[in-house]
Amino acid sequence: MKSATTTLLVIGGGPGGYVAAIRAGQLGIATILVEGERLGGTCLNIGCIPSKALIHAAEEFDKVRHYADGSPLGISADAPRIDLARTVQWKDGIVKRLTGGVGALLKKHGVQVVNGWARIIDGKTVEVQQADGPLRIHCDHLLLATGSRAVELPFIPFGGAVISATEALSPATLPQRLVVVGAGYIGLELGIAYRKLGAQVAVIEAMERILPAYDDDLSKPVGATLRRLGVEVHLGCSVLGMNQAGDAVRMRDAAGVESELAAERVLVAVGRRPATDGFGLEGLLLDMNGRAVKIDSQCQTSMRQVWAIGDITGEPMLAHRAMAQGEMVADIIGGKRRHFTPSAIPAVCFTDPEIVVVGLTPQEATQAGIDCISANFPFAANGRAMTIESTDGFVRVVARKDNHLIVGWQAVGRGVSELSAAFGQSIELGALLEDVAGTIHAHPTLGEAVQEAAMRALGHALHI
> Using one digit for the tens of pLDDT, what is the confidence trace for 375-420?
999 999 999 999 999 999 999 999 999 999 999 999 999 999 999 9
Residue 8 is predicted with a pLDDT of: 98
Residue 350 CB partners (closer than 8 Å, separation 6+): 51, 52, 55, 185, 189, 417
443 is catalytic: yes
Ramachandran sector of residue 120 (left: φ over 0; alpha: ψ -120 to 50; beta: rest): beta
Residue 187's pLDDT is 97
Instruction: Output the pLDDT for position 348.
Output: 97
Beta pairing, strands 288-289 & 292-293? antiparallel
Q: Does the structure show a pLDDT above 80 at 69?
A: no
Give 132's contacts (C-beta < 8 A, 6+ positions apart). Answer: none
d(CA 318, CA 356): 13
For the chain, percent of residues with pLDDT exceeding 70: 100
Percent of the chain with pLDDT over 90: 95
**What domains are there in the chain, each with its CATH number?**
2-59+78-150+273-333 (3.50.50.60), 162-269 (3.50.50.60), 347-457 (3.30.390.30)
**For helices 216-229 and 185-197, angle between their N-to-C axes, nearest 10 degrees:** 20
Kindly list the distances between the CA atom of residue 129 and the CA atoms of 30, 98, 123, 259, 275, in Å, as whole numbers in the listed order. 21, 26, 18, 48, 18
Q: How confident is the model at residue 339 (pLDDT cuts 50, 70, 90)?
A: very high
Across 365-375, average pLDDT: 97
Phi/psi of residue 169, nearest 5 degrees: -85, -5
**Residue 1 confidence (pLDDT):** 82
Q: How far apart are CA 348 and CA 345, in angstroms?
A: 10
One-character DSSP codes across 119-158: EEEETTEEEEEETTEEEEEEEEEEEE---EEE---TTS-S
Strands (E), 277-421: 288-289, 292-293, 306-308, 347-349, 354-359, 372-378, 394-400, 406-413
Residue 429: phi, psi to the nearest 5? -90, 0
pTM across the whole model: 0.94
Distances (CA, A) of 378 to 101, 251, 408, 453: 40, 38, 17, 9
Residue 321 has pLDDT above 80, yes or no: yes
- Tell me how far apart the alpha carbons of residues 451 and 435 are, in angstroms, rounded to a whole number: 9
Summarize the confidence of residues 264-290 as an average pLDDT: 96
How many Å apart are CA 32 and CA 126, to the nearest integer? 11
Query: Is residue 16 within 8 Å of residue 299, measured between CB atoms?
Result: no
Q: Mean pLDDT throughout 350-361?
A: 98
**Choosing from 109, 404, 443, 460, which is the catalytic residue?**
443
CA distance 404 to 348: 25
State the pLDDT confidence band at 76, using cuts at 50, 70 and 90.
confident
> Confidence class of residue 67 from pLDDT cuts 50, 70 and 90?
confident
Q: Residue 70: is its pLDDT beyond 80? A: no
Q: Do the Cβ atoms of 310 and 321 come closer than 8 Å?
A: yes
Question: What value does the mean pLDDT of the chain take?
Answer: 96
| Cα angle for residues 156, 270, 421 (degrees, 5° grid) | 155
pLDDT at residue 26, rounded to an integer: 98
- Asked whether 286 and 303 are in contact (CB, 8 A), the reply is yes
Grouping H, G, I as helix, E, B as strand and the rest as coil, residue 433 is helix
In order of 119, 156, 194, 238, the CA distances from 231 in angstroms are 45, 22, 10, 18
Q: Where are the alpha helices (DSSP H) in 148-274?
A: 165-168, 185-197, 216-229
Tell me what the mean pLDDT of segment 300-320 comes to: 97
- Count CB neighbours of 46 within 10 A: 22
Distance of CA 46 to the CA centre of its chain: 11
| 101 Cβ neighbours under 8 A, 6+ residues apart | none
Kindly tell me if the per-residue pLDDT of 72 is higher than 90. Answer: no
